[in-house]
A and B are shown apart, each in its own frame.
Chain A
Amino acid sequence: QQPVQSPQAVILREGEDAVINCSSSKALYSVHWYRQKHGEAPVFLMILLKGGEQKGHDKISASFNEKKQQSSLYLTASQLSYSGTYFCGTEAPSRPGAAGNKLTFGGGTRVLVKP
């Protein structure tokens, strides 16, 4: 079951902040964040492991609340280059006793940063 992302889209002025949320109904091993620009492959931003850690990538940071099975991506002082579609990927066993943990992506959040 894929994670649920919100909002579906956000429009920002350069320098503004935004938060993108990712929720799962399953217990997670890790959460991955990717950004995809039109016509290109998704590009890795960061990974968060169990333990409620927070990470940063330039002025983009993320947190992972393991108990709530949620992750949030924070875009701070947004730049024009931040425009694109952001996907969270969650890693979890597809069922108890499954052989491995698959990486499943949400539907994406489209971000447009205007000058």
Chain B
Amino acid sequence: DTGVSQNPRHKITKRGQNVTFRCDPISEHNRLYWYRQTLGQGPEFLTYFQNEAQLEKSRLLSDRFSAERPKGSFSTLEIQRTEQGDSAMYLCASSLGPLEAREGLNTEAFFGQGTRLTVV
């Protein structure tokens, strides 16, 4: 296993276009997180999954953002009608989480290299 893989690594798009990013987590990991990071800031939580269930979506996200993890394996993050403020690094992380979602996480989260989005 080569770790968490994200595609594409870079994406330049025109304002108003839709974009979709893909994350392939480490194969046995049941938790998958999406974060957004801008220069000089920490990773900002967007959403996370336990297997195929999306447990939480940040209130900071507008309805233009949607994420799926249809079979509990890879995940996609779609941004519709992109705006210049969406320009950022989008990071995916995965972890071997507890069997029950409410239980604490006691294993590390592995990050992918991210997808850098530039909206022009």
Interface Cβ pair total, 8 Å cutoff: 80
For B, the interface residue count at a CB cutoff of 8 angstroms equals 29
Q: Which among B17-25, B61-69, B101-109 touches the partner chain?
A: B101-109
A41, A49, A87: the one within 8 Å of B106 (CB): A49
The interface bits of chain B over 18-59 (1 if a CB of A lies within 8 angstroms of the residue's CB, else 0) are 000000000000000101000011111100101001011000
Docked Cα-Cα span, A108 to B39, in Å, equals 11
**Total count of chain A residues near the partner, CB < 8 A:** 30
Q: Give the complex CA separation of A108 and B44 in angstroms.
A: 11
With A99-B56, A103-B33, A103-B109 as contacts: A87 and B104 at CB distance below 8 Å: no
Interface pair A103/B42, CB less than 8 Å apart: no
Is B72 in the interface zone, CB < 8 Å from A?
no
Do the beta carbons of B108 and A47 come within 8 Å of each other?
yes
Query: CB within 8 Å of B: which residues of A?
Result: 2, 5, 29-30, 32, 34, 40-44, 47, 49-50, 87, 89, 91, 93-94, 98-108
- Residues in A neighbouring B35, C-beta threshold 8 A: 105
A42 with B102: in contact, given A100-B48, A100-B56, A103-B48 (CB under 8 Å)? no
Taking CB atoms, residues of chain B closer than 8 Å to A5 are: 42
Min Cβ gap B46→A in Å is: 10
Q: How far is the CA of A2 from the CA of B42 in the complex (A)?
A: 10
B117 at the interface (CB under 8 A from A): no
